[in-house]
Amino acid sequence: MVRRETLWVSAVALGTVLTVPPASAGEAPRRTIDLAQGWRFQQGDLPAQPLTPAFDDAEWQSISLPHSWNRLGEYRAERSADTNNFQGAGWYRLRFPTPQKLKGNRAILQFDGVGAIADVWLNGHYVGQHKGAYSRFRFDVTPFLSTKGDNLLVVRADNSKPKPGSPTADVLPIAGDFFLYGGIYRGVSLIVAPSAQIDLLDHAGPGVYASVASVDDTSATIDLVTKLRNQDGKSRDLTVVAAIQDAEGGKVAEVSAPVRLAGGDDTSVQQTFTVPKPRLWQGRADPYLYRVAVELRAGGKVVDRVEQPLGIRTFHMDPDKGFFLNGKSLPLHGVSRHQDRLGKGAALSDADHVEDMDLIAEVGANTIRFAHYQHVQKWFELADERGMVVWAEVPYVSAASFDGGDPSPAIVANARQQLIELIRQNYNHPSVVTWGVGNEIDSYSIFTRKAVKAKDLLKNLNDLAKKEDPRRLTTFADCCTDSPYGGPIDAEPLVGTTDVAGYNRYPGWYGMKPEDMGPALDALHKRFPAMPMSVSEYGAGGALTQHSDNPHGGVINAFGRPHPEEFQSLVHEENWRALKARPYLWAAWVWNMFDFASDFRVEGDAIDLNDKGLVTYDRKTRKDAFYFYKANWSSEPVVHVNGRRYSNRAYPVADIRVYSNAPSVSLRVDGADLGPQPCPERICVWHNVPLKPGTNRIAASAVFSGKAVSDEITLNGPDPLKNGLRINAGDLTEQVLEDGRHFGSDHFFDGGEAKALNPKDITAFFARGVKDKVVVGATSAALYNGYREGRFAYEIPLPDGDWQVTLSFFEPELTAAGKRTFSVKANGKIALASIDPFLLAGGALKAVERSFPVTVQGGRLSLAFERGKGAALVSAIEITR
């Protein structure tokens, strides 16, 4: 067959609605037969290829599509028997009847996504291979279909772990913080279409490609390219009749063009429409969609027909003023989304996609980053319909090669193929404004501290995207410019390779403090003043079962446990404050809307999960941080009391935080009115609210346009008189020890610095191999994970009376006695003088405790830790009767 992709036939009928004679009625020219049901599946490779009908698959599992054999990611400390993280081959077999009325038509098999390499056989004939887990692909199987009856379709899917020598070594992604699911995890169908057709084999694109050339107050000009293919020997005289319909189905423009399609040839027809007084696609405010319907007619009869969405819109980005939709500023704020969930892996149903989109709409996002690969058509359609502005991308993620050097020619070819598939298959979705051609592709340099070769492929993909679709912008997500994690990472600067940029930045999580976001962005903006920039990722982990009384009280262990939910909220509060104040950003995306599977993660209260979601992996629980964004982004009334999952409290007082978009909110505790508090930045706080032992009902309410909206939680207060009060100094997370003693996280302090015995920050992560330090002689090691150091004091709320205070110490780093001495005052009087933990314990990393009695009056105990020869420190405070 001769491919003449670039030869376009005449552009006709510019502008006006032509009177095209109506087509004669007949049956729908194209038929799509769903092949979701009746499959047999077997995990693992087989001694013989099961390609013949005689092969007995009775023992295989009966399944329907979508299907993936992988199941991973659980809120547990260790993997359960439910985990299946097998990476290798899986075989599928399906028997299906030959469709009726096949004569003169073509039969085309369509796979919506197979992870990660698919080999396909029909009736024993090898049909072909597709490499890439995330895009749609099609094969013309007409010659292999049985003329009599049953067909046997066999598919081998392979999601082997990408590494040198593996079948997936040259298939993107070769690395990444997400799981590469195996299986036929999206749909399969058989399309029966005429031999002379709107091209089904254009990288599985729709064959019809519409784009907005210009829009003004009176009209819009739409360019349309229709690709045609004739798999017949005969030359055909055809007419391409293209119409634009409004949302009610009314025709607003129609053009037609005659075309002679030689036998075995393919060609493109270019047409231009004018849509008078167009109703624009206005994002979430009014996601108005037209449809383009293209018919291929032969002698007045419709022989093929394709319908695609059309949203009429323009956009641009300004390096100082951000994003503009249809000429108006539209600051973009939203989330990234991965395509998996608990119990299903990546085998999602349409209803699952709708639920995800509903949650994203509920939080009030107006943009979504489709991370880190081609998402399913349904997801693009939902984005169009809901008015989400989209960053779509290919899985060129984390590494260009396995050793930091140049990617192989096969990787480059696969990257190009996947990018063409992404763009052609999704060209008509108005939601998409940028094609992402890389994500953190030089991050390998953080691990190796060497410059890596990622730029050539980035540029290659950028140029290809510009050629495929000059009307959209290219972008990439940067990890390493200005070396936020140290190291010689800037050797091959990537910013400037694509039209616009995104920065993945995690201040407060991977190093830095939450409030460092603003200055870090300003520095980047200053360095590349002409480059429109966004924050393509920011975020923090949050576990539902791990909690903090004060998220300022300790050091987060980003690469491990625990991940208190309150710390996630704090990072988002601080990061968002910086983001919303920077109008030069064209967008910012929370990483991530949902917890998602990643099989190297052991963190928070989960296994195989990245827990940075605003919503859990099962979509059942919205974390507190979800409501922070809802209060900021949504116009729905929001009143949400934080901390409901930390129901058994360690302390008899609590700071109650409410997220709300009301100017002020009132609070009642067990019916007693604590009065209103203002909600600057959508956060309303009541400090030191007393909790009585047992149940406390905390109810917040606000009035929105005359209507009261409220939220209530129940907290169980402790009984210090009965059980004492315990502070795990320097620690971020409250915990109940095995012996039942409940320690709150570090709180009530003023001054000093919280430190971790074994910091698991980004620096420590890269220095892997360093052995964790252990404090010996400790009744509970948990008390020594963190400590507070410096000159500091505590003001602890306690009932009046006589108490015993026990302090836990150890020497974390000094190697001799006499180098660190300090004293402790209780209520202004020396309680412990000249404490030298090394001397008292007989060495470093050895636990030591000291106790003293105190009398509390006025409901407060003051402890002051004062420097002697060195900084004071304490790792736990236990106060009992």
Binding track over 119-158 against ligand GCB, x by CB under 6 A? ----------------------------------------
Please state the closest distance from residue 197 (CB atom) to ligand GCB, in A.
Answer: 39
Cα 497 versus chain centre, distance:
24
**Which of 186, 612, 649, 742 is in the footprint of ligand GCB by CB under 6 A?**
612
Omega cis (within 30) before 525: no
**CA dihedral sign of residues 563, 564, 565, 568:** negative
3 state SS of 841: helix
The C-alpha atoms of residue 777 and residue 799 are separated, in whole angstroms, by: 32
504 is a site residue for ligand GCB (CB under 6 A): yes
Helix (H) or strand (E) holding 725: strand 725-728
Dist CA 558 CA 732 (whole Å): 12
Q: What is the DSSP string of 771-793?
A: PPP--BT-S-GGGGSEEEEEEEE
CA distance 80 to 644: 28
Question: Residue 360 CB, nearest distance to ligand GCB (Å)?
Answer: 18
Closest CB 828 distance from ligand GCB, rounded Å? 47
694-704 and 683-690 as β-strands: parallel, antiparallel, unpaired?
Answer: unpaired
Burial of 143 per CB tally in 10 Å (0-12, 13-18, 19+): exposed
Which of 372, 755 has the CB closer to ligand GCB? 372
Q: Is the dihedral of CA 446, 448, 451, 455 positive or negative?
A: negative
Q: Cβ of residue 528: shortest distance to ligand GCB, in angstroms?
A: 19
Residue from 439, 616, 660, 745 binding ligand GCB (CB under 6 A): 439
Angle at CA 714, nearest 5°, toward 713 and 717?
140
Q: Answer yes or no: 381 catalytic.
A: no
- CA-to-CA distance for 104 and 236, rounded, in angstroms? 13
What does the alpha-carbon distance between residue 821 and residue 340 come to, in Å, rounded to a whole number? 54
Catalytic residue among 421, 440, 849, 878: 440
Q: Per rule CB under 6 A, is residue 591 in the interface with ligand GCB? A: yes
Q: Which of residues 479-498 bind ligand GCB (CB under 6 A)?
A: 479
- How near is the Cβ of 202 to ligand GCB at its closest, in Å? 31
Residue 70 CB, nearest distance to ligand GCB (Å)? Answer: 18
Amino acid at residue number 185: Y
Angle at 126 between CA 123 and CA 130, to 5 degrees: 125
To ligand GCB, the closest distance from the beta carbon of 859 in angstroms equals 43
Residues 369-388 that bind ligand GCB (CB under 6 A): 372
Select from 74, 119, 177, 393 the one that contacts ligand GCB (CB under 6 A). Answer: 177
Closer to ligand GCB by CB, 90 or 173: give it.
173
Is 440 or 811 the residue whose CB approaches ligand GCB more closely?
440
Counting residues that bind ligand GCB (by CB under 6 A) gives 11
Least distance in angstroms from the C-beta of 610 to ligand GCB: 5
Shortest distance in whole angstroms from residue 536 CB to ligand GCB:
8
Residue (384 or 537) nearer to ligand GCB, CB: 537
- Output 267 or 610, the one with its CB closest to ligand GCB: 610
Give me the residue label for tokens 């979430």: 284
Give the residue nearest to ligand GCB (CB). 177
Which amino acid, one-letter code, is at 806? T
Please, are residues 406 and 453 in contact by the beta-carbon 8 Å criterion? yes
440: contact with ligand GCB by CB under 6 A: yes
> With contact defined as beta carbons under 8 Å apart, do 848 and 810 qualify?
yes
Determine phi and psi for 21, rounding to 5 degrees: -60, 140
Cβ distance to ligand GCB smaller for residue 71 or 372: 372
CB of 372 to ligand GCB, least distance (A): 6
- Across 547-671, the runs of DSSP E, i.e. the strands, are 585-590, 596-603, 606-610, 639-641, 653-660, 664-669
Start-end of H helices in 345-408: 350-363, 377-386
Cβ closest to ligand GCB, residue 197 vs residue 439: 439
Residues 6+ apart with CB under 8 A from 12: 255, 256, 257, 258, 271
Residue number, 8 or 600, with CB nearest to ligand GCB: 600
At 100, phi and psi to the nearest 5?
-65, 160
Contact pattern for ligand GCB over residues 463 through 482, marking x by CB under 6 A:
----------------x---
One-character DSSP codes across 548-570: -S-TTSS---TTSS--BHHHHHH
Length of the chain in terms of residues written: 881
Candidates 268, 431, 610, 666: give the one binding ligand GCB (CB under 6 A): 610
Nearer to ligand GCB, 485 or 659 (CB): 485
Q: Which residue's CB is nearer to ligand GCB, number 428 or number 598?
A: 598
Give the binding site for ligand GCB (CB under 6 A): 176-177, 372, 439-440, 479, 504, 537, 591, 610, 612
Catalytic residues: 440
